[in-house]
Chain A
Amino acid sequence: MNKAKKGNMARLNRWGYIFLIPFIVVFIIFQLIPLVNTIYNSFFENYRSGLKQIGPNFIGLANYASLFTGGDLIQYFENTMIMWVLGFIPQIVISLLLSAWFTNPSLRLKGQRFFKTVIYLPNLIMTSAFAMLFFTLFADSGPINSMLMQAGILSEPYSFMSHVGSVRGLVAFMNCLMWFGNTTILLMAGMMGISADLYEAAEVDGATPTQIFFKITMPLLRPIFIYVMITSLIGGLQMFDVPQILTNGTGDPMRSSMTLIMYLNKHLYSKNYGMAGALSVMLLILTGVLSFIVFRVTASDQVKKVR
C-alpha cells in the first residue's frame, strides 16, 4: 500500500517536471542565454561605424574601465535615484492615504469604484504619449506658461525644459502620477488581507485612527510594502521613457536628467554591444545590491526570525 503510494507520488512528480518544461525552456532561451550573452559581450570591443563592423575583439575589462573613468556612470545613477526618490515619496504617501481611506469600513466612502478606476487611468495612457503631452503643456509658449502669465504670476515665459529642477521635478511628477494608482491598488489588497477583528478590537480598546494605522496596519502591511518598495526601485532604476521623450533623448540640461537606461540607449546608436553589455552588467549588480539593502532594512524583523 505504502509502496504503491510512493510510486504514485513519483509518477506525479514526473508530470510536474514535464509541465515545467515550457517555462524552463522559455526562461533559458529568452532570459538565461541573453543574460550570459550580455556578460560575455561586455568583454569585447564590438560596434558599428556606419556600415563597417568593428570587432568583436576581446579586450578584457576595458569596457568597464572606460565606464568608470569617465565618472559619468555615478552622475547618471545619481540622476536616476534623485528622480525616483522625488517621485516615489509623494507616490507612497498618497497611495497609503488613499488605500487606508478606501479600506476603512467606518468611512463608507461613496463612489469607491469610480475613484479606483480614475486613479488607475493615468497608467493606461502610453508613457510616450503622456510625456509628449507634458512636453507640450510645459513648452515655452504652452498652456501652462500662458496661464501663469495671464494670472500675473510670471512676467515672461518660464523655460521649464532649460532648468534642472523643473525637468527633474516634471519627470518625478509624471512617474508619481502614472504609478500611484497601481501602488494604491497593491496596498489596498494588502490592507484588505488584514483581519477586521484586529481593527474592531483596537477600536473597542479606544485606539485613535492614527494609532490604528501605525500600530496595526503598517506592521501587518509590511510584506506588501516591501514588495512595492522593491518593484518600484527596480522600475525606478530602469526609468527611461518619460525623461527620454521629455528631453528628446538628450537628458538636458547638461545631462542632469539622463538616467542609466538612457545612457545605455546612447550606446545603441553605434550598436556598441561591448559598452552596452558592460553597462547592463553594472545595472544588474546595482539592482541586486539595492534590492538586498531595501529588503534587509525593511524586513529586518523577519530576517532575524529566520535566523
Chain B
Amino acid sequence: MRKKIVSIMVASAMTAAMLAGCGGAAQAPAAEAPAAETPAAEAPAAETPAAPAESAAPAESAAPAESAAPAGDEGSVLNIEVWNEEFKSRITDHYPGYEKVDDTTGKIGEVKVNWIITPSDDNAYQNNLDTVLPGNADAAADDKVDIFLVEADYALKYVDADANVAMPLKDLGIADGDLSKQYQYTKDVVTDANGDLRGASWQACSAGLIYNREAAKEVLGSDDPAEVQKAVADWKTFNETAKKMADKGYKMTSTVNDTYRVYSNNVSAPWVQDNAVVVDANIAQWVEDSKAMVDAKETTTAELWSDDWSKGFYPDGKVFCYFGPAWLINFSMHSDDATSIAGQGGWGLVTGPQGFYWGGTWICAAQGTDNPTLVKDIILTMTTDDAVMEEIAVKDSDCVNNKDVLTKLAGDSSFGNAILGGQNPYQMLADGAELVDMSNISIYDQGCNEEFQAAMKNYFDGNATYDEALAQFNKAIVEKYPELTAQ
C-alpha cells in the first residue's frame, strides 16, 4: 500500500512538474514570453519610484533639467534597442541629465533608461527588431521600445512607410529646419517613399582614400595629398597607378572588397527595379577593374576584416591604400601599436576616385513609444546641438553630422591627426560628405551587396566565369528575397 502511494506521488510529481513547465511557456506566445516576465520582476522597483514621482512633480518641474520629461502622462521607462555600446557611451558622456545606474540601465530625471543590447552577428539584432517592433504599440507601457538604432545598410527596411515601425520625425515635432546643418545623404538614408524623414544621425561617415605615405614617396615621388590625389583622381588613373605600385612590389589595395563601397555608392539606379535585380553599370565596372587587378596581382580577394586584409596596416604588408572614414583611421588601423604604419603616423588622406561613405548609426523613434517628448529631445540634442556635437567630435573623434562644426574643426590646426602625419582630415571629410549621394538605396542593398561580393570572389579566383558567378548571385538573392526575380 505504502509503495503504491509513493509511486503515485512520484508519477504525479513527474507529470505535474513537466506540465507546469509546458504550461508556463504555452500561456504566452513565444515572442512575448520574455517581455511578460520582465514586468513581474521589475514591478516592485517600478512602483516605488512611481509613487513619489507624482508627489514630487512640482519639485521636479522646478529643477533646471532641460530634458524635463513630463513624468505625469508619459512612460517611466525608456527602452533603447542597440547592438553595441557606442550610443550608450555617447549618451552617458554627452546627454545632459543622464545618470548611469549600472551597465545596462541609467536614469534621465525620473525616467529609467534600459539599454537592450543585441549584437548584430548573424542578423540577431534585426531578428530581434523584427519580433518586437510590429507589436510595439500594444506592448505593456514599460516594455515598449522607445528608441532603436539602425545602420545604413538596412535602414530603409525600418523606415519603410508601409511597415511604419519608425515614427516620422515630424510626428515627434521635429521640423526639417531643425536638421538643416546635417548632410543630405544622412537624410536620404532614412527617408521613406513619401519623403518623410524617420530618423537622424549624429555621424557623417564620409570616407576617402587612405594612402601609405612611404609608398607614395617611393613610387609617385611625393606624399603630398594634392599630388597623390592626381594619381587616383578617377578609376582610369587609379588602375594605372596600381600597375606602378605592383612594379615596386606594393599591392594597390589589400583586397577587391576595399573598392566595392566606392563603386556601389555611386550607382545610377537602385539594385532592385520592378522586383527584378539589376546589376548597375558602375558595379559591373567594379567587376571588370577588380578582375584585371587580381589577375595582375595588384590586389587580393581576402575578406574585409580578415588578417589577410589588415596585414597592410604594417609596413611589411606592402599595401598602398585603404578606403575608409574617420573611424577606420582612428580605431581600426592598429594606431596603438608603434610598429604599425598608423602608429608611426604614416598614412595620408585624399578624396580618391569617387565620393563614398562607410558606416554611421541612425536614431529612430519607435512607433508606439510612450515617451515622445524625451525621445524628441534626445534626437535633437544628440544630432543637432552644436555644442554637444563639437564635444562628440573632440572627445570621441566621430566625424559629426553638422556642417558648421566640421567647418570650424577644419579651420583649426590643432585638430591635425597624428595617424595621418598631422594632416587635418576634416575639410576633406566635410567636402566628401557633400559628394555622397544615397538617393539610390533600396531595402535590398545589404543582401545584394554581400551576396554580390561573395559570388564575384569565385570569378576573381578563377573558379567560375563571370556569367556563372552572376548566376550564383541571382540564386542567392532569390533565396534571401523570395519575392524577387533575377534578371
CB distance A51 to B163 under 8 Å? yes
For B458, give its contact among A21, A253, A266, A275 (CB under 8 Å).
A253
Give a binary string over B437-480; 1 marks a CB under 8 Å from any A CB, 0 the rest: 00000010001000000100110011110001100100110011
On whether A22 and B472 interact (CB within 8 A), knowing A15-B7, A50-B157, A51-B160, the answer reads: no
Return the chain B residue nearest A255 by Cβ.
B472
How near does chain B come to A216, taking the closest CB pair, in angstroms? 45
CB distance A270 to B11 under 8 Å? no
Q: How far is the CA of A35 from the CA of B334 in the complex (A)?
A: 51
Q: Which of B14-22, B36-44, B344-352 contacts A (4 or more CB under 8 A)?
A: B14-22
Q: B273 near A: Cβ within 8 Å?
A: no
Contacts of B311 in A (CB 8 A): 141
For B482, give its contact among A50, A253, A272 (CB under 8 Å).
A272
Contacts of A47 in B (CB 8 A): 482-483
Return the chain A residue nearest B443 by Cβ.
A50
Contacts of A29 in B (CB 8 A): 22
Contacts of A164 in B (CB 8 A): 463
Q: B158 near A: Cβ within 8 Å?
A: yes
How near does chain B come to A277, taking the closest CB pair, in angstroms? 13
Main SS of the interface on chain B? helix
Return the chain B residue nearest A142 by Cβ.
B307
How near does chain B come to A288, taking the closest CB pair, in angstroms? 26
Q: How far is the CA of A237 from the CA of B334 in the complex (A)?
A: 42
On whether A162 and B301 interact (CB within 8 A), knowing A51-B133, A51-B158, A252-B458, the answer reads: yes
How near does chain A come to B195, taking the closest CB pair, in angstroms? 19
Return the chain A residue nearest B162 by Cβ.
A52
Give the interface size bracket for A toward B.
Answer: 35 or more
How near does chain B come to A185, taking the closest CB pair, in angstroms? 32
On whether A252 and B454 interact (CB within 8 A), knowing A49-B483, A266-B479, the answer reads: yes
Contacts of B194 in A (CB 8 A): none
Q: How far is the CA of A51 from the CA of B165 in the complex (A)?
A: 9
CB distance B476 to A266 under 8 Å? yes
State which residues 380-400 of B face A: CB under 8 Å. none
CB distance B15 to A21 under 8 Å? yes
State which residues 278-303 of B face A: CB under 8 Å. 300-303
CB distance A266 to B480 under 8 Å? yes
State which residues 186-220 of A face B: CB under 8 Å. none
CB distance B480 to A51 under 8 Å? no
On whether A275 and B11 interact (CB within 8 A), knowing A141-B307, A162-B301, the answer reads: no
Give a binary string over B387-420; 1 marks a CB under 8 Å from any A CB, 0 the rest: 0000000000000000000000000000000000
Return the chain A residue nearest B25 by Cβ.
A29
CB distance B463 to A254 under 8 Å? yes
CB distance A140 to B463 under 8 Å? no
CB distance B18 to A267 under 8 Å? no
Q: How far is the CA of A252 from the CA of B462 in the complex (A)?
A: 12
Contacts of B55 in A (CB 8 A): none
Q: How far is the CA of A29 from the CA of B165 in the complex (A)?
A: 34
Q: How far is the CA of A141 from the CA of B307 in the complex (A)?
A: 7
Return the chain A residue nearest B15 by Cβ.
A21
CB distance B14 to A51 under 8 Å? no
Identify the A interface with B (CB < 8 A): 15, 18-19, 21-22, 25-26, 29, 47-52, 54, 70, 72, 136, 139-142, 159, 162-164, 248, 250, 252-255, 266-267, 269-270, 272, 275
Pairs A–B under 8 Å by Cβ, sample size 10:
A21-B14, A25-B22, A50-B160, A140-B308, A159-B301, A254-B468, A255-B472, A266-B476, A270-B479, A270-B480
